[in-house]
Amino acid sequence: MEAHIQAWIYCRFSTDKQADGYSIERQLTYGRDYVERMGWDHSVDRELKDEGRSAFHGGNRLEGAALHEFEAKARSGAFKDTPTVLCVENIDRLSRQGAKAAAQLIWMLNENGVSVATWHDSHVYKAGDDTDMMDLFSIIIKGQLAHEESLKKSKRSNANWAKKREEIRTTSHKEVITGTPAWIDVDPVTKMMTLNEYRVSLLNEIFDLYVSGLGVTKIVKQLNGRNEPTWCVSYRDNKRGWGETYIHKLLQWRACLGEKYEGRDDTGELLNAHYFPQAVNADKFNQAQSVRAGKARSGGPTRFTANNLLSGIAKCEECGSPVRFIRKGADTSQYVTKSGEVRTYHRKVTSYLQCDGARRKHDCTNSTQLPYEPLEKTILEGLLPSIVQQKTVNHTVVGMRQQIAEMERLRAASQGKLDNIVSAIEAGGALTFIQRAGELEKVIAEQTEQIDSLVKKLALEESKPSSADDGEMIMSLQTKLTSSDEDERIATRCQVNAALKRLINRVDVEATNTARIWISDKEWYWFDADGVMLEAEQRI
């Protein structure tokens, strides 16, 4: 193969536990070394990662997975005119679904101009007419072996879970001390579990920082910056300090609420809601989930994205893509005179928002570079009081409550019908009554499931701060938005960004060098590049 070939690296692991073993980092390291040895062209934006996706069940090939997107590109002919190679550790990183699935996948990639290279044995399955039939046989054998290995593991796991479920039902299930969260101390003799006061305090601080708007990366930096001891057992992990993966796990781990998931059986989920002592209250936990659900993938280090209070809010009106915050120039420059004196000059800094697709000349013609500072000032000083006043009533909560009430009404009606049928059956009713009763039981079960889902969503929505609280918080923090203390400035701008995401639906950057700020689907404000209002609409 030739040196100008475009190389992609694909990494995958199946379970969250493997994340703690730095599986992705290991694969990336070996993959980059391999590509460098081969002399192929490579860049960071051509690294694909599927974390926690199983190749045995085909999860890494479903919509939303990195491999799925790469397959779609290949099928569309994106690599036909560019020599391309997809590099993986071995075949089972791509598929463990059996010989046929593995062979079809690599054959499809080859037919669409993509060679596949495995760095564990330095073998290349070449694209196009260079395909070797012996390679196809090799793929079939390797694919089947990987599938059989995963099948054995799956059967062993299922057998273990079946035994565990039986123990739970017969109350002979023993507590596994090794599975106890790090903020709980266990007496080695009595097996009594108690909360570790210091660690529970730290756990709640992590939740509070996240809910207030700080990102996971910033939280990690704070913990490591003050040399906060980690909760890891191994010496190696302690030396590495706190990491983003573990903080993400804490923020969604329901063990914080005292819950422990024990699997499923024919009756549904086996969940013990009071297994552990509760460390975080339900309201705070729900607030964190609400923040996670609404967090946009704006990307980039916090020190850059925090400059943009509209990160995750501003979109391109033409293509719907996120706009990029671009900052040109330096705040100051220094000049050393002949006498050795250092002089500092303040320089003009220009910041603007531009569609990233148009900037890269890809699928969008909206080349508007909308000045950022006038837009930020307009929102914070002009629109904010009006937004808070308009959002005193949370219409989403009202709508959800109405939905729940209606579903409960329908379920009560179904239950009434079922009660009447049961009475008729007891009185010697026809066989068709029994069939109808079974149908109604299914309907009631579905209605109950819908109600439970709505109740959970309502809890998340009600956990969000009110618009008045958000507005007051933003106004109280405005003086810190330009603080000379970098840590304070970044933390404040992250908090304000999180609050604005709850107050504003989106900001459309339009091709006419204007911005349309949507407060809801029925209310918007239209501004020019200087922050002058052109038009507004409020529909009831």
HEC string of 120-131 equals: CCCEEECCHHHC
Q: Which residues of 249-263 are buried (b: 16+ CB within 10 A; e: fewer)?
A: ebbeeebbbbebebe
Q: In which residue are the tokens 């006061």 written?
A: 197
**What does the alpha-carbon distance between residue 142 and residue 272 come to, in Å, rounded to a whole number?**
42
**What does the alpha-carbon distance between residue 423 and residue 418 come to, in Å, rounded to a whole number?**
9
Residues 6+ apart with CB under 8 A from 121: 90
Count other C-beta atoms under 10 Å from residue 316's C-beta: 23
Count other C-beta atoms under 10 Å from residue 525's C-beta: 22
Helix intervals (H) in 356-503: 356-359, 372-377, 384-390, 395-426, 431-463, 467-477, 486-503
Torsion 225-227-229-235 (CA) sign:
positive
Euclidean distance between the first and the last CA atom of the chain, given in angstroms as a whole number: 64
Instruction: At 411, give phi and psi (nearest 5°).
Output: -65, -40
Q: Give the per-residue pLDDT at 191.
A: 83
**What does the alpha-carbon distance between residue 177 and residue 271 come to, in Å, rounded to a whole number?**
18
Burial class (CB in 10 A: 0-12, 13-18, 19+), 179: exposed
E strands along 173-246, which residues? 184-186, 193-195
Q: Among 460, 470, 452, which Cα is nearest to 293's?
A: 460
Q: In this structure, what DSSP letter does residue 465 have?
A: P
Each residue's pLDDT tens digit in the chain (540 positions)? Answer: 455 788 999 988 765 444 444 577 788 888 888 988 888 988 888 888 887 776 566 676 777 788 888 888 888 888 888 889 999 888 777 776 655 667 778 888 888 888 888 888 788 888 875 555 555 556 556 555 655 665 566 556 556 656 655 555 555 444 444 468 999 998 888 888 999 999 999 999 999 888 877 888 888 888 988 889 888 765 445 567 888 888 988 998 888 988 876 554 444 445 566 788 899 988 788 878 877 776 644 444 444 446 788 888 899 998 888 888 887 765 556 667 777 787 766 656 688 898 888 887 777 889 899 998 888 888 888 787 766 665 555 567 767 777 887 788 778 878 877 777 777 666 665 566 667 777 888 888 888 888 888 887 777 666 655 566 677 777 777 778 777 777 777 778 877 887 888 788 889 999 999 999 888 777 888 999 888 888 888 765
Count other C-beta atoms under 10 Å from residue 113's C-beta: 17
Structure tokens at 240: 């590495």
Inter-residue contact 184 to 225 (CB < 8 Å):
no
Ramachandran region of residue 393, left (φ > 0), alpha (ψ -120 to 50) or beta? Answer: beta
Q: In this structure, what DSSP letter does residue 41 have?
A: B
Q: Give the per-residue pLDDT at 394.
A: 59
Largest CA distance in the chain: 111
Inter-residue contact 326 to 351 (CB < 8 Å):
yes
Q: Give the per-residue pLDDT at 335.
A: 65
Residue 18, amino acid: Q
Q: Give the per-residue pLDDT at 509.
A: 92
